[in-house]
């Protein structure tokens, strides 16, 4: 991506007409487990839920948390 080529967050934001915070949040998605990304692509997770997993870069932990919460009724990003 653009950040991999050294482009600053501010420059990426300007290029796409979005807030810098939006770019920062989307860049954090790179640390989310591919398993969870697949669930997102299959509409089993919302973007808000997927973003909640950016708090940790441990894929095994992310997947364990999803398995635990998906067994309950409330799977909100909280």
Give me the tens of pLDDT residue by residue for the chain, a chain 78 residues long. Answer: 677 677 899 999 999 999 999 999 888 998 899 999 999 999 999 999 999 999 999 999 999 999 988 887 666 655
- Note the pLDDT of residue 39: 95
Nearest to 65 by CA among 41, 36, 31: 36
Distance, in Å, from the CA atom of 59 to the CA atom of 34, rounded to the nearest integer, reads 8
Nearest to 59 by CA among 31, 21, 24, 38: 31
- Note the pLDDT of residue 52: 92
Q: Is 48 exposed, middle or buried (0-12, 13-18, 19+ CB in 10 A)?
A: exposed
- Note the pLDDT of residue 73: 62
């Amino acid at each position: 991506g653009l950040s991999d080529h050294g482009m600053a967050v501010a420059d990426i934001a300007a290029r796409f007409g979005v807030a810098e915070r939006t770019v920062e949040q989307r860049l954090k998605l790179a640390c989310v487990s591919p398993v969870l990304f697949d669930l997102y692509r299959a509409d089993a997770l919302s973007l808000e839920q997927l973003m909640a997993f950016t708090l940790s870069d441990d894929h095994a932990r992310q997947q364990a948390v999803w398995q635990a919460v998906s067994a309950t009724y409330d799977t909100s990003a909280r």
